[in-house]
């Protein structure tokens, strides 16, 4: 069954092409506009970090359309940790998963031994990840220290023509960015 998305098939096809050729996009998420790219493309991730003026050591979040897209990160974990992560998804919760096999590059993970992952319930984000065929980098669309973009004009004000694509669409109904929970300790970090 295909997801119903407010993003047209043409825009999704264009986004897929941009992502697969190393581009950086802006797109609406559950609460704020996000910046995204192929997490395995080091230059694309570094470009996002440069735009945001964010140090690589902090790491970035991966967002996925489904648990299946991040199954490679869950399978090495004990069943109880897999269940703990899965109970938060799909939804606006980012889980810190131990990257026990170091499957995610350091430029995504940062200085951490875990990876921040969210399986989104936002139809546009899910359609975007499905179109790309992979989880994507998802970080708020703003320079460090500035409020996250909540309108397309905020995106343009912050980054002008430095982005390869700004997808149309609407934010979800959340007022705050996703909560972040460490599934090993149960601690809520945001």
> Average pLDDT over the chain, rounded to whole?
92
Work out the average pLDDT over 58-82. 96
pLDDT at 56: 96
pLDDT at 104: 94
Q: Give the per-residue pLDDT at 176.
A: 77
Residue 2: its pLDDT value, please?
38
* Residue 3 confidence (pLDDT): 40
How high is the pLDDT of residue 100? Answer: 80
* Cβ neighbours of 73 (radius 10 Å): 25
Structural domain of residue 114, as residue ranges? 9-182
Contacts of 97 (CB under 8 A, 6+ apart): 73, 74, 77, 81, 85, 114, 115, 116, 117, 183
Evaluate whether residue 188 is within a structural domain: no
Task: Report how many domains make up the chain.
Answer: 1
Name the DSSP letter for residue 91. Answer: S
What mean pLDDT do residues 28-45 have? 97
Assign residue 165 the CATH number of its domain.
3.90.870.10
pLDDT (average), residues 74-92: 95
Rounded percentage of the chain residues whose pLDDT exceeds 90 = 83
- pLDDT of amino acid 173: 83
User: CA–CA separation, 38 vs 46, rounded Å?
Assistant: 11
Q: Does residue 102 sit within a domain? A: yes
State the average pLDDT over residues 122-149. Answer: 96
* ∠ CA 72-18-151, rounded to 5°: 95
- Residue 45, in any domain of the structure: yes
Nearest to 165 by CA among 150, 175, 155: 155
Looking at residues 113-125, what average pLDDT do you find? 95
Is 2 inside any structural domain? no
pLDDT number for residue 7: 80
117 in a structural domain: yes
Instruction: Judge contact between 128 and 138, C-beta under 8 A.
Output: no
Is residue 123 domain-resident?
yes
* Average pLDDT of span 95-108: 91
The pLDDT, as a whole number, for residue 41 is: 98
115 occurs within a structural domain? yes
Q: Is residue 3 part of a domain?
A: no
In this prediction, residues 127-155 reach a mean pLDDT of 96
């Amino acid at each position: 069954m295909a997801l119903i998305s407010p993003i047209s098939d043409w825009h999704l096809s264009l986004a897929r092409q941009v992502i697969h050729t190393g581009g950086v996009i802006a797109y609406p998420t559950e609460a704020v506009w996000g910046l995204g790219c192929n997490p395995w493309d080091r230059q694309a991730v570094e470009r996002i970090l440069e735009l945001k003026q964010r140090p690589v050591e902090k790491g970035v979040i991966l967002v996925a359309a489904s648990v299946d897209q991040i199954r490679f990160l869950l399978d090495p974990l004990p069943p109880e940790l897999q269940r703990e992560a899965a109970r938060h998804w799909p939804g606006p919760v980012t889980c810190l998963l131990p990257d026990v096999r170091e499957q995610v590059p350091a430029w995504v993970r940062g200085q951490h031994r875990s990876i921040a992952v969210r399986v989104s319930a936002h139809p546009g984000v899910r359609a975007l990840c499905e179109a790309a065929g992979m989880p994507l980098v998802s970080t708020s669309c703003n320079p460090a220290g500035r409020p996250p973009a909540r309108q397309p004009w905020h995106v343009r004000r912050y980054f002008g023509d430095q982005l390869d694509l700004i997808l149309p669409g609407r934010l979800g109904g959340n007022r705050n960015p996703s909560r972040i929970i460490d599934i090993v300790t149960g601690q809520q970090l945001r």
